A and B are shown apart, each in its own frame.
Chain A
Amino acid sequence: MLYIKCPHCGMRSQNEFSYGGDASVKRPELNKEISDQDWDNFVYNRKSLRGKHWELWQHLSGCRQWIKVERDTATHEIFNTLKANEDIS
């Protein structure tokens, strides 16, 4: 069982959360010429890192906020959590 510290609610069990994937993926900017490759990278291509990985989770059965979580994908250790609008340093 993972325990994730929601920046809004505190430490909660994994059961309350839903996963949203790689948090480092950025949507291409609107109103600009966007190449197919840019869209590919946004929609499909993923680094899927082994080790430390910033990812999005939603506290679905809690405050329903999206948050960012830094987790090790090989050991499941969680290092850090941020609100969705906070930048990854």
Chain B
Amino acid sequence: MQKYSIFNLVKNAFSNHDNWDLAWKDPTPKKEYDVVIIGGGGHGLATAYYLAKEHNITNVAIIEKGWIGGGNVGRNTTIIRSNYMYDENALFSEFGMNLWRKMSQDLNYNVMFSPRGIINLAHSDAQMNTYARRGNSMRLNGIDAELLNREQVREIIPMADFSENVRFPIFGGLMQPSAGTARHDAVAWGYARQADSMGVDIIQNCEVTGFEVSGGKIKGVRTSRGDIKVKKIGLCVAESTNVLAEKLNMTIPIETHLLQACVSEPVKPVLDRVVTFGAGHFYISQSDKGEMVMGGDLDGYNSYAQRGNLPTLQHVLTEGIAMMPFLSKLKMLRTWGGIMDMSMDGSPIIDKTHIEGLYLNCGWCYGGFKATPASGWTFAHTIAQDRVHELNAGYSLNRFNTGYLLDEKGLGTKTWIS
């Protein structure tokens, strides 16, 4: 594989950039693999990469129904953070933050990680108290957190509404300075390119049609491009988790919902942080192209549509305008929807299943993108070692049975109830 470097860039300039290698190949599926990862999104690609890199397992195929990076890794608002209170979530996410910090070097691909900080706004004294508590918990877990008062917030984001008679005045906020954003497509492509270079087969336009299970063990997977014999399968399909679980006669604590996001027309630099509204569900950042990137609530009913409905978008943008009135002057450039695998306690699942050789990675709700490296790393460990790592021990499938829920926000699939 050609290394991406300034030297190679100059060298290839002389040949009109015609001689670059393909970033990844387009192989025909083999008859047999050691591990098959179903789902060529961020998590699936990262899993294959860490299987090869950390566990030396390279006879691996990624099977993707559409094209890699065409699902939620290409549809999110690119926010990366670890501002969690519960130990399980905090330690997992912070482990991921460390992978993010060195990802561009590790993958030899510029993922444009931009640790610009995230501010969660508080709109009441009570909310300031909860943020203080969350910030303290974060600090105890070695994560940076700063509680900001109203004036400190005003200095950082003067364009927010600080007038006196608003419905939700800004009391302050909780900032995680090391949080940020990254270029989402580059994350998928970077992982794909490295995984491919280590021998992983990335098989696109290949739909899973069934599974071969006998004696409680995985024997193979049936696909639109032929049957494949395999002992271990990692299911990493977000929106299609329920659909594939049905083929395995499993019912899982996941409901499939639609989340919309949108960007405005590009404007000059105005916002250099990620900001979330504390009195509703709205988050915003500005992309390198100048677009304001915004998102908020789920549409609120089961959906596989990958496109949203106007009432929710209207509701979300009303919150945005309440927080930053200048947004009302901007034109909307693009809106889109992605399908979320909403778990019942709002936390993900990375675990083994009752079928030997079948591993499950799902339930990422709104937080899938930031978890890409940590999810891939721990899922690869779980598959390779056939046991969960301590980092994902809390993300068990049976917690809904035992009662050890990770209900960090007290929200599951019905987030609009909050």
Contacts and interface: CB of A to CB of B under 8 A. Distances in A.
Interface of A: 1-2, 14-15, 18-19, 21-22, 36-37, 40-41, 43-50, 53, 55, 57, 71, 73-76
A14 B413 CA distance: 19
Which among A19, A43, A53 has the greatest number of chain B C-beta atoms within 10 A? A19
B54 interface: no
A73 B251 contact: no
A43 B300 CA distance: 18
Given A1-B310, A45-B251, A46-B254, A55 B302 contact: yes
14 contacts: A14-B309, A18-B300, A21-B255, A21-B302, A21-B414, A36-B401, A41-B251, A45-B252, A47-B242, A50-B304, A73-B304, A73-B305, A74-B305, A75-B305
Contact of B246 (A18, A19, A37, A47): A47
Main secondary structure of the interface of B (DSSP, over half): mixed
Contact of B309 (A2, A18, A48, A50): A2
Given A1-B310, A37-B401, A45-B400, 4 more contacts: A44-B400, A49-B302, A74-B304, A76-B309
Nearest to A51: B304
Contact of B251 (A14, A47, A53): A47
Contact of B301 (A19, A44, A47, A75): A19
Interface of B: 242-243, 246, 251-256, 300-305, 309-311, 344, 400-401, 413-414, 416
Contacts of B251: 41, 45-47
Nearest to A76: B305
A44 B254 CA distance: 8
Contact of B302 (A15, A44, A48): A48
A71 B300 CA distance: 14
B303 A73 contact: yes
Contacts of A36: 401
Contacts of B302: 21-22, 48-49, 53, 55, 73
B303 A45 contact: no
Contacts of A40: 253, 400-401
A31 to B, nearest CB: 23
The 3 closest A-B pairs by CB, nearest first: A44-B253, A48-B242, A45-B251
Contacts of B344: 43-44
B310 A50 contact: no
B365 to A, nearest CB: 14
Contacts of A14: 309, 311
A15 B344 CA distance: 25
Contacts of B416: 18-19
Contacts of A53: 302
B256 A48 contact: yes
B309 A1 contact: yes
- Which among B251, B302, B303, B311 has the greatest number of chain A C-beta atoms within 10 A? B302
A83 B302 CA distance: 20
